[in-house]
Amino acid sequence: DMKVTQMPRYLIKRMGENVLLECGQDMSHETMYWYRQDPGLGLQLIYISYDVDSNSEGDIPKGYRVSRKKREHFSLILDSAKTNQTSVYFCASSVFSTGAHNQAPLFGEGTRLSVL
């Protein structure tokens, strides 16, 4: 069963704490993404990973870093979280040809992060 799994689903942290969001997929997709979704805005790309240890910044990488040591696993790390990083974070995966009309990216259910 094709699935992208995000853990945890809900997280509350204090400003300055470190945050680790985890994402796993079982399709052996090369490409994985981290997005954030804020009210009234479209999803914004934080980082994209093309394969193990092949990561690129997205449109809003500041304050975030990522790790991909296995193809099926992609982590998002917030070092010293800030209140403006309160958001819903989505992980997605796809085959390399993400734009191909026959391969939609598969999204996880999101992690709702509150930074107090």
Partner 1 sequence: KTQVEQSPQSLVVRQGENCVLQCNYSVTPDNHLRWFKQDTGKGLVSLTVLVHENDKTSNGRYSATLDKDAKHSTLHITATLLDDTATYICVVGDRGSALGRLHFGAGTQLIVIP
Q: Is 57 helix (H, G, I), strand (E, B) or coil?
A: strand
Rounded distance between C-alpha atoms, residue 116 and residue 12, angstroms: 7
Site for partner 1 in 74-103 (CB under 8 A): 90, 92, 94, 96-102
Q: If binding is defined by CB under 8 A, does position 108 make contact with partner 1?
A: yes
Q: If binding is defined by CB under 8 A, does position 1 make contact with partner 1?
A: no
Interacting residue with partner 1 among 41, 62, 69, 70 (CB under 8 A): 41
* Shortest Å distance, C-beta 80 to partner 1: 28
Q: Which helix (H) or strand (E) holds 86?
A: none
Looking at residue 62, what DSSP letter applies?
T
Return the C-alpha torsion angle 18, 91, 66, 82, nearest 10.
-30
The H-assigned helical ranges of the chain are none
Q: If binding is defined by CB under 8 A, does position 53 make contact with partner 1?
A: no
Interacting residue with partner 1 among 18, 50, 79, 83 (CB under 8 A): 50
Q: Which residues bind partner 1 (CB under 8 A)?
A: 4, 30-31, 35, 40-45, 48, 50, 90, 92, 94, 96-102, 104-105, 107-110
